[in-house]
Amino acid sequence: MPVSSPGRTAVFVDGCRLPFQRAGTGYADLMAYDMGRMVLRHLLTRTGLPPDRVERVVMGTVVQDVNTSNVARESALAAGIPNRVPAFTVTMACISSNQAVTSGVDLLRTGQADVMIAGGTETLSDPPVRLKRPVRKRLFQARKAKSTGDYLDLLDGLSPGDLLPETPAIAEFSTGEVMGESADRLAAMFGISREDQDRYALRSHEKAAAARDDGRLDEELAPATVPPAFDPITTDNVIRDDTSLEQLRDLPPAFVEPFGTITAGSSSALTDGASATLLMAEEVAEAEGVAPRAALRTYTYVAQDPETELLLGPAYAIPEVLDEAGLTLDDIDVIELHEAFAGQVLAVLEALRSDTFAAEHLNRTEAVGAVEMDRLNTRGGSLSLGHPFGATGARLVMSAVNRLHDEDGRWALVSACAAGGQGHALLLERRPS
């Protein structure tokens, strides 16, 4: 159920992110830890916040490195945050840094912290590749081996195939289905055409390119410097300036052949990146002369059947937070919706404006409402900016706040789907500049 403000008000002060890079490109040689410490340092520098003023650090990540399993703690220490400051890592698939942000909100509301940092970091350039279980099991048993014969006995029963590396699974563990396959079925369920998906994907890239070119993205970007050259990376490299509707139409189905409608062009790319936000209790910010940019009002998390509604979480989460706040979609000035796939976004929009979906799934007498496209992802989204799993949620929040101020709005809505059939929505209210 939705969580609103039982105690103090949590506010967003500032945020930044490293430019997102396609996996295997700009950050190919970095750990998630490297990007985490970099973005934390940038946040401290741009806000002028003394590191010893931070009381908690929470970061999201999905593909974990066993060497830095609590990547929030390692990143915080490397960023110069005092070792007495607790830090913890959360994981909730694509909404991991959303969970980091709302964990921070809860800490602030309940008085457990006055000042905290929430964000996320992710590398998909270097996913963990393991030896297969039969080999791992024997390596564990080898600790007790004492003779050559003992070691040779460990080879019994091994096949040549057991020696091949085990690549990370991309399918849902509970269903065995790849997310793109589920997106294809969801698009078909809601009658979303291939043409509509291609047009939405093109829109995302055009919006992102325009926001980059006119400087609107600059306020959230912090340059990354990568050894050994340390040349600064200053822009996202997922944006496709050269894409066109004709090119998108020519792409083959990526997941369901031959009639699937999801393509590589209408899917978010594997991406590396990191993001961070500074959150405070409003009364503390006011006492210290810090001007908050937005209040974090109401949030919720939902879960559905991962087999049939894997990516439909926002259609369930959005009405919950709107009802809790006594608002409708007409009251919302800014909407930032995670774009896992163009078909997923369009299916969510269709569900929100469907009386049938409202009656059968939400126990409502009428549809939630139609989303005005001029309020949705006007600076691009995950399709064009990229999607580092653990960092996207904080990007959505800072983009929403920046847009509220640039577009002179009051209310912003952030929402996202996630693997496992989960979803999230958050309402933010602008504070005066």
Give the active site residues. 94, 387, 417
Q: CA nearest 422: which of 247, 67, 179, 82? A: 179
Task: Tell me the DSSP string of 28-64.
Answer: TT--HHHHHHHHHHHHHHHHT--GGG--EEEEE-SS-
Q: What is the spatial distance between Cα 75 and Cα 61, in angstroms, rounded to a whole number?
A: 12
Beta bridge partners of 302: 423
Token code pair at residue 7: 């105690």
**Contacts with 208 (C-beta within 8 Å, 6 or more apart), sequence order:** 217, 236, 239, 379, 380, 381, 384, 385
DSSP label at residue 304: -
Cα-based angle 21, 69, 178 (whole degrees, multiple of 5)? 55
- Long-range CB pairs of 163-169 (<8 Å, 24+ gap) are 163/131, 163/132, 163/135, 164/132, 165/129, 165/130, 165/131, 165/132, 166/129, 166/130, 166/131, 166/132, 166/133, 167/127, 167/129, 168/63, 168/127, 168/128, 168/129
Work out the number of other CB atoms within 10 angstroms of the CB of residue 83.
Answer: 9
Q: Are 197 and 264 in contact (CB under 8 A)?
A: no
d(CA 142, CA 297): 55
**Distance (Å, rounded) from C-alpha 372 to C-alpha 332?**
10
Strand partners, 298: 427
Q: What are phi and psi of 178, to 5 degrees?
A: -75, 140
Neighbours of 299 (CB within 10 A): 25
User: In 358-403, at which residue ranges do the beta strands (DSSP E only) sit?
Assistant: none
- Sequence length of the chain is 433
Indicate the SS3 state at residue 263: coil
